[in-house]
Amino acid sequence: MCSACEMVKAFLELRNREFTEKNVSTDSQGRSELLGMGYDSTPVTVIGERQVEGFDVVEIDKALAALDSE
């Protein structure tokens, strides 16, 4: 697994957020979903309707805040 992927997971755990991990190297459906969103590398974190590419703390926090305000 990529180091950025591990950092996203650790960050979400620190924020006490549940998440579903999809390993696109072993999950063909997950890989198809990733490609269908227009990405070909990981991590891509889907929070509500938002997609955050890479380990972007600011964007992840913004997406979490938007989800909480819905």
Domain ranges of the chain: 3-69
CATH architecture type of domain 3-69: 3-Layer(aba) Sandwich (3.40)
Distance of CA 43 to the CA centre of its chain: 6
**pLDDT at 40 (0 to 100):** 93
Distance of CA 68 to the CA centre of its chain: 16
Strands (E), the chain: 44-47, 50-53
Segment 8-62, tens digit of pLDDT: 999 999 999 999 999 999 999 999 999 999 999 999 999 999 999 999 999 999 9
pLDDT band at 1 (very low <50, low <70, confident <90, very high): low
Q: Is the confidence at residue 70, as pLDDT, over 80?
A: yes
Query: Global pTM?
Result: 0.89
